[in-house]
Amino acid sequence: MRVDVVTIFPDYLQPLGLSLVGKAVRDGLVELHVHDLRGWTHDRHRTVDDTPVGGGAGMVMRPDVWGQALDDLLTDTTHILLPSPAGRVLDQGFVQSLAAEEHLVIACGRYEGIDARVAEHYSTCARLTEVSLGDYVVNGGEVAALVLVEAVARLLPGVVGNPQSLVEESHVDGLLEYPVYTRPPLWRGLAVPAVLTCGHHAQIARWRRDEALRRTAARRPDLLARLDDAAFDDADRQVLDAVIGPS
Ligand code: ADE
């Protein structure tokens, strides 16, 4: 997969050189290019913004500069991601679909955002999705670009050493993950649940499933409500009936 990130703060993306994503880039599993948007300006001050038409606070990023950048980077397979608090909220399902893409261009806005005609124009001639990290505001798209690249890259074949760890984690089957433990068996008076040391794989799997269901019901009932009936077996139902009552 190729990923191009366009930003006025290229240094913000430096953490992508670390850890698993950094290794994936060095191993050639992800081709990552970070570009300075100011490279597409032509004036002495390398201006990327202007005042909002109609008045108001702050500055808006200019469509002509973004247009030149995106025209240069677009191919037939590009999916443009435009971080914005007004976008679709990122979730694991969308991350999984992005992991199947050939080419992502992440356009990081700053200030009050990018002139709305950029999203309007590229929605007609390319695939473009405005993506939100959640219902809060950060100062620009760079932090969303970090999240997107990390979340997508770890799903690419060969990036995470043991692919099984991608199967048993929060949000993959629509549930939160069960709690995990390591040694020592007793820490500050708190014991590891006995079932995990019994060596009986089916019992451990059932206990983990039950805990995932209980945790999800307690912390994120909205996730449970989104799952189809077919997602639950009889044992699941018993657990859910005990914590939230029969549906
Ligand atoms: N830019 C500012 N706030 C944002 C958010 N919540 N998600 C994505 N990009 C943003």
Torsion of CA 232, 233, 238, 241, to 10 degrees: 30
Kindly report the protein residue whose alpha carbon is nearest to atom 6 of ligand 1.
Answer: 85
Which atom in ligand 1 lies closest to the alpha carbon of residue 140? Answer: 1
- CB of 85 within 6 A of ligand 1: the answer is yes
State the Cα–Cα distance between residues 59 and 220, nearest whole angstrom.
38
Nearest CA residue ID for atom 5, ligand 1: 85
Residue to probe by mutation, ligand 1, list 130, 133, 142, most atoms within 8 Å of CB = 133
pLDDT confidence of residue 164: 87
pLDDT score at 165 = 83
For every residue of 75-89, DSSP letters joined together read: -TTEEEEEEEEEEEE
29-61 per-position pLDDT tens digit: 999 999 999 999 999 999 999 999 999 999 999
Q: Using a 6 Å cutoff on CB, does residue 132 contact ligand 1?
A: yes
Of residues 223 and 165, which shows the higher confidence score?
223
